[in-house]
Chains A and B, each alone.
Chain A
Amino acid sequence: DTEVTQTPKHLVMGMTNKKSLKCEQHMGHRAMYWYKQKAKKPPELMFVYSYEKLSINESVPSRFSPECPNSSLLNLHLHALQPEDSALYLCASSQGPSGSTDTQYFGPGTRLTVL
């Protein structure tokens, strides 16, 4: 079963709010990813965790803060976002460490609107 779950499905927040996105997988995958996708564009990588350690940060602004509490969970903490941060936030996981070329499986995403 290649299932990645994400909560919440939808999130509306003001620019002064603090919120968190959650991602979970129970496939024993060792790499987890956060992507951001704007309408009509492909996903853009934000962060990669490999064996629960941050291995890639694609120069993401500090108002996005990732956290990997354990091998199954990945969080994205949001603070002081801007309206242009409104997008679909996708989590993905893959079996091997992040240096491998394993297939990445995506969760259903959180659709974020920043007012």
Chain B
Amino acid sequence: RKEVEQDPGPFNVPEGATVAFNCTYSNSASQSFFWYRQDCRKEPKLLMSVYSSGNEDGRFTAQLNRASQYISLLIRDSKLSDSATYLCVVNRNQGGKLIFGQGTELSVKP
């Protein structure tokens, strides 16, 4: 079992749809949590850090449930420009090593 697991993709959704990504992590010592997005042939870019209290940035909402070791990302009113791979990332505070999920590909269609 991988340490960070994400929903397999791809997700194909129409513009304006709401889409939810789920992620679970197995190491309870994990300390910080992130969603990155990566466009084709580009670098990962930080989308959001994720906190237990939940956090929202415009159309994006991230939640962390430490008890269930579960992280989610909700995208509302999806745009064509949201098409990318979304990476769930965990930092166990062991030398700065990030643990990446395999990524979920999102394709938003007109």
Contact = CB atoms under 8 A, between A and B. Distances in A.
A45 B97 contact: yes
A111 B91 CA distance: 26
A70 interface: no
B110 interface: no
Contacts of B87: 42
A55 B103 CA distance: 27
A105 interface: yes
B96 interface: yes
B100 interface: yes
B93 A108 contact: no
Contact of A56 (B43, B44, B96): B96
Contacts of A106: 43-45
B19 interface: no
A48 interface: yes
Contacts of B42: 108-109
Given A42-B101, A107-B43, A99 B34 contact: no
Contacts of B72: none
B46 interface: yes
A101 B32 contact: yes
- The 5 A-B residue pairs with the shortest CB-CB distance, nearest first, are A42-B100, A101-B32, A98-B96, A106-B43, A101-B91
6 contacts: A42-B100, A45-B97, A48-B96, A88-B41, A105-B46, A108-B42
